A and B are shown apart, each in its own frame.
Chain A
Amino acid sequence: MTNLMQHRLFLPLLALALILLANLVLSPEFFHLEVKDGRVYGSLVDVLNRSAPCALLAIGMSLVIATGGIDLSVGAIVAITGAVCANLLNSSFDTLPLVILAALAVGLAAGMVNGSLVSIFGIQPIVATLVLMVAGRGIAQLINSGQIATFQNDTFASIGIGSLLGLPAPVVIAAVVFLLVQFAMRFTALGLFIEASGCNPRASHYLGLNVRVIKFLVYCVSGLCAAIAGMVITADIQGADANNAGLWLELDAILAVVLGGAALSGGRFSLPLTMIGVLIIQAMSTTIIMSGIEPKYNLIIKSLVILVVLLLQSPSFRQQLRGLSGARNSLGGKA
């Protein structure tokens, strides 16, 4: 039993299970799924669908955080990608492969900027990515000429609202990216190298690992993930809003990684746990809406639940708890 409780999957899974259970109590139809026109509908599917953009960002964020960095710019990269897609779709270069390639190129370029600032110029990651976080929305506004750029393109829109294999397209896209990255991390030595350079960059250098290149690459992956998330969000609303697309989404992604038990100082990471973290965040938002609590309490309740999960994961908090219960036991013994 204690072994099970100490397993690092235990707490995140328990938290997710409790939130889903709360949904079951609040609205029994939460787990109801129905198939219409070859597509599955239901609240659970809705949670997955709403999680997809954050999940995509969190995949890249996991790798960045594993190296001891952080990428604040992903929300802004979402906005830039959206603006690029919308404007291309409104121009004569509106073929789908071209738009997708352009979006990925933009994400990669943004990631390379972050990566060079951090690994070549040695700027603190939080500051280096803050630059693009602020500047990115400005760039997106310039591309959009300050307007919300809307477009009519059903093929592109299907990235956000279409379905594949009976599931919403964003869910399938996020799942594919997750599997690809997870495969690259765990079926090659990349995951080990990223973790080593996060745990001890000096020792990793002594091992012959090129820590700079590793750091550079994780920001590139993060930029690519943000570009994919940007396409999903833009396709979903069929328009690019430079001010609001992906706004604060980077913070949700960071939170998801932390809920998955990763340390911001770098080191061990787990993509499956990060995905559970994403689901916790989204399931909770859905729960709050469905429970009929006034929306104004939404953010406060969400942060309280997250605080509890994070406290339970903190080793020093656990020790203090153990100390408390130990003190009680010894008192009881005296009496």
Chain B
Amino acid sequence: MSAQNAVLQLTGVCKRFKGVIAVNNVDLDLRAGEIHALLGENGAGKSTLIKVITGVYTPDGGRIEIDGAAICPKSTLDAQKHGISTVYQEVNLLPNLSVAHNLYLGREPRRFGCIQWKKLQRDARALLQRFSLDIDVNELLSSYSIAVQQLIAIARAVDCAAKVVILDEPTASLDSREVGLLFQILRTLRDQGTAILIVTHFLDQVYALTDRLTVMRNGEKVGTFVTAELPREALVSHMLGKELQAMEASRASQHTDSVDPAALQLRELSSSNGIRNINFSAQRGDAIGLAGLLGSGRSEVCAALFGLDSVTEGEIRLGEAPYKPRSPAQAIAQGFALCPEDRKTDGIVHPLSVRENMIIAHQAQRGWWRPLRRSEQNKLVADATQRLKIVCSDPEKPIGELSGGNQQKVILARWLMTHPQILILDEPTRGIDIGAHAEILQLIRKLCAEGMTLIVASSEIEELVAFSNKILVMRDKRLSTTIAGQDISENAVLAAIAEPD
């Protein structure tokens, strides 16, 4: 890979947080006039790398060069002076100022120390014209849609520093027409010689837009590839870290539903969180795997089932009865339980004790007026600790002091106490050690054998294949493929994830 015309060159960049290596020895070259995608699953180190480039973090090692000269940006402003500007997923402009003022904030045209408002407005209008945006620049930023705000943020970034523009998931909040407009603008910029680094999870967009791409996994660079020369399957296996053998195109066979009404049935389900037309059914004792890349809608299906998002179209049936949860409380009353993806913010209640964290869902189900006696609580906690092999010296210590794997087991124990019929696990094995990982997989099999229905969303295809008897592959918030029974294999799932629209 020649770095002749590299505008931005990273060599051996490292970043550690309290001993944890977030970015390890990453090289990257970004050329003038190219659109370069940065890909990887959650925790791959993409955002950390971007923050190192833009001066939010100071690297622990390695070199950052712009046009061959080493730089060490100390802040985003400093990075901007070197010609690097960034547009984040959330628009970080000031909603209470006018569009024009936002575009020139901090670099207003001045004469004798006074801002030249007329010139500022004229420049703003001219700038937005280049982006085919015809809007009133005197209106407040907040009066425009998020998509327009995003385009304004990009316009500002490009105008501030035209050398390198970094976009962190710019299309997350845009609809397809707006995405088209954005792509057109990015292509124009590329042709003008700007180097663009874009983070996205949408493979279709990667192939539609980018010239080259770099894949990261677990803080390390997997490789840089020319987009047109890299097959989709290879890209997905690079991202997920799975070797893809000879591709057997094992297409999904139609799952034949048994005559009994299914324990859980989704018909054309759409939710307020964007998932559309989801169809599947599950029997008692089924383990349903939800596969797909980040942002594909895995977690959104879980959220809709648990009453966190509202159902906008279609229906859910539990046996014969329709089910339309409006809150987690209603879902729990119908026998649902959810171990959420983000254990820290949605799962554990720190600094309450391990005991309290375990019994609280059961207690909430019983109601405040029927408290569990302390002796009952201690017994439940002791049983669960033994059953799930939770390592915890004292159930009275705050839950935050346990390791990730043990916290996850406490959350599992919490929900098992409510005796759910349908247990939803969203990324049950993320961030936990190998021992606990294996134990959780064992537990999933055991629960299914006992007749519980499990729905497990995971980015680890290997584990989904290990226990699921039906795998739903999600893409773009839709159910793309259902793989059932004998057809389930890692290759089949990888192929379904990589399959173009």
Contacts and interface: CB of A to CB of B under 8 A. Distances in A.
Interface of A: 187-190, 192-193, 195-196, 199-200, 202-210, 267-268
Contacts of B328: 205-208
B340 A207 contact: no
A189 B333 CA distance: 18
B363 A200 contact: no
Interface stretch (B346-354, B435-443, B487-495): B346-354
B349 A203 contact: yes
A193 B364 contact: yes
B371 A209 contact: no
B350 A199 contact: yes
B20 to A, nearest CB: 23
A200 B369 contact: no
Given A199-B351, A268-B351, A208 B346 contact: no
Interface of B: 306, 308, 327-329, 331-333, 338, 340, 345-352, 356, 360-361, 363-372
A202 B340 CA distance: 11
A189 B369 CA distance: 7
13 contacts: A188-B368, A189-B363, A189-B364, A189-B367, A189-B372, A196-B352, A202-B346, A206-B338, A206-B340, A206-B346, A208-B333, A208-B364, A209-B329
Contact of A267 (B351, B368, B371): B351
Nearest to B371: A189
A208 B348 contact: no
Contacts of A187: 371
Given A188-B368, A267-B351, A268-B351, A202 B345 contact: yes
* Of listed A202, A203, A204, A205, residue having the most chain B CB within 10 A: A203
- 10 closest A-B pairs by beta carbon, nearest first, are A208-B329, A208-B332, A189-B368, A200-B349, A189-B371, A208-B364, A199-B349, A208-B328, A189-B363, A190-B368
Nearest to A187: B371
Given A206-B340, A268-B352, 16 more contacts: A187-B371, A188-B369, A189-B371, A190-B368, A193-B368, A196-B356, A199-B349, A200-B345, A203-B340, A203-B347, A205-B328, A206-B328, A207-B364, A208-B332, A208-B364, A208-B365
Contacts of A190: 368
A209 B367 CA distance: 9
Contacts of A209: 329, 364
A193 B363 CA distance: 9
B40 to A, nearest CB: 26
Contacts, number: 74
A207 B371 contact: no
A278 B120 CA distance: 59
Given A188-B371, A196-B352, A203 B345 contact: yes
Given A199-B351, A200-B345, A202-B345, A207 B369 contact: no
A190 to B, nearest CB: 5
B363 to A, nearest CB: 5
A204 B356 CA distance: 12
Contacts of B356: 192, 196
B325 to A, nearest CB: 11
Contacts of A192: 352, 356, 360, 363
Given A189-B368, A189-B371, A208 B361 contact: yes
* Of listed A188, A202, A205, A207, residue having the most chain B CB within 10 A: A207
Contacts of B368: 188-190, 193
A207 B349 CA distance: 10
Nearest to A204: B349
Contacts of B350: 199-200
Contacts of A206: 306, 308, 328, 338, 340, 346-347
Nearest to B369: A188
A147 B372 CA distance: 53
A204 B347 CA distance: 8
* Of listed B308, B349, B356, B361, residue having the most chain A CB within 10 A: B349
Nearest to A197: B349
Contacts of B364: 189, 193, 207-209
Contacts of A196: 349, 352, 356, 360
* Of listed A189, A196, A200, A208, residue having the most chain B CB within 10 A: A208
Contacts of B332: 208
A210 B329 contact: yes
B457 to A, nearest CB: 15
Contacts of B340: 203, 206
Contacts of A200: 345, 348-350
Contacts of B366: 189
A207 B411 CA distance: 10
B331 to A, nearest CB: 8
Given A192-B356, A193-B368, A208-B365, A203 B346 contact: yes
Contacts of A210: 327, 329
Contacts of B351: 199, 267-268
A195 B352 contact: yes
Nearest to A263: B351
A207 B360 CA distance: 8
A192 B356 CA distance: 8
Contacts of B346: 202-203, 206
B402 to A, nearest CB: 15
Contacts of B361: 207-208
Contacts of B371: 187-189
A187 B365 CA distance: 17
A192 B371 CA distance: 10
Contacts of B331: 208
Contacts of A188: 368-369, 371
Nearest to B329: A208
